[in-house]
Amino acid sequence: MYLLDGAIRNYAWGSHQELAALRGESVPTHHPEAELWFGAHPGDPAVLADNSGRTLLDVISDNPHKELGNAISQKFSQQLPFLLKILAAEEPLSLQAHPSLSQAQLGYARENAAGIPLDAPHRNYHDDNHKPELIVALTRFEALAGFRTPTRTLDLLDALAVEAMDPYTEMLRAEPDANGIRALMTTLITLPRKQLATLIDAMEDAARRLVAEDSEWSDVAFSFLKLVAEYGVDAGALCALLLNRITLQPGEAIFMGAGVLHAYLHGVGVEIMANSDNVLRGGLTPKHVDVPELMQVLHFEPLENPVLPATKVLRTNAGNVPDGEGVDCYEYHTPVPEFFLSRCRIQPDVTTTLDVEGPFILMVTKGTVTLTQDGESGYLDVPSGHAAWMGDWEQRPRMSTGEEPASVFVARVPRK
């Protein structure tokens, strides 16, 4: 077992409060802290908390078959296939989508053949992997996720009642399906800047009216106004009006597969994804936006309910409390082979066996848990904002809490 210190990523949209408070450090921080990475990603691997200077990447690279197990090591080229992180969004992230595995492989090969440097700002594909991702809310979490059903989007556009928008609204009314969404999205994202500015001005006035009226679309209108205030004349703000605007409560999740247009707006969540840097942006960012490539990647089928339900785990307890008491665990099932995430809330003074096959990363988001192994004299205290690595070769540990409850997330590779 290794205690891990996460790698802080400082992006402008991050928080000066949330990640530092979760780690028990002083706030506000000097720079915004956007993400806390726990993984073996070469860009910023977690560091062992033993002052050795070694990282989790070093541990796995030194003996991948031992740490990952033979099956996982062979399947994923001797690499941990997922990245676990805590994300704290104070401001909206860019509007984006991720390619499928086949699209990533083709795009990566194509840009390599064209001689585009990996660090070129206009490069789309930085590796040949896909990037499905799951995020579980730790706080109230606001996001845009997938295209809304056309009938509901028409309801929104009718409520806005902007005359300059009418020609575009009629495009969707004529084809209230995926084809209509594609046509409208393509038109909005390619509008000339002068025409775009005029349309956004008119839509701002209508959005302010909806907010003042406290209508059913007030949250959507408020988000649109915030995006315009942050990014100005940006087609991404108009395209955002086509997406589901959702609010997750703590414990609720969304899964973003290939081709799903999305943006995280505000909140703190635990995110797990396949190891990849492939992002196709659709606006709300100063970074490169490749509209033709984005349109090739996007799925335009409506996503009626983006929220992924958690499954309560029926467990056989091996600790000091009766079955079903003291520990509540939930799992998040996704269709990808790279990761599987579960979360547990553990009441004070509880000891239980962590019935999970390795290898895995256990991350604590509240309280402190102590990990011990039968027959071993050592133990590992894992406080909030830290994580532990457990290799495939190690015994399943026992997990206990002190006088305070604890919340943990366990990330592993599914055994399928």
281 among known catalytic residues = yes
Active-site option among 182, 281, 343, 412: 281
What type of residue is 176?
P
What residues pair up with 269 in beta bridges, in sequence order? 87, 137
Q: How far is CA 64 from CA 59, 77, 79, in A?
A: 8, 9, 7
DSSP codes, 357-373: PSSEEEEEEESEEEEE-
Q: How far is residue 187's CA from residue 241's CA, in Å, rounded to a whole number?
A: 14
Tell the burial category of 297 from Cβ atoms under 10 Å away from its Cβ (0-12, 13-18, 19+).
buried
Residue entry with tokens 């004349």: 233
Is the link from the previous residue into 167 a cis peptide, with omega within 30 of 0?
no
* Rounded CA separation 301/279 (Å): 20
Rounded to a whole number, what is the largest CA-CA distance in the chain? 74
> Per the structure block, which two tokens stand in for 266?
């505000």
Angle between helices 150-160 and 178-189 (to 10 degrees): 50
Residue 407's nearest CA partner among 348, 353, 346, 356 is 346
Beta carbons within 8 Å of 283's beta carbon, 6+ residues apart: 94, 95, 189, 231, 234, 235, 236, 237, 239, 289
**Residue 176 to residue 18: CA distance in whole angstroms:** 41
Distance separating alpha carbons of residues 250 and 285, to the nearest angstrom: 27
Residues marked as catalytic = 281
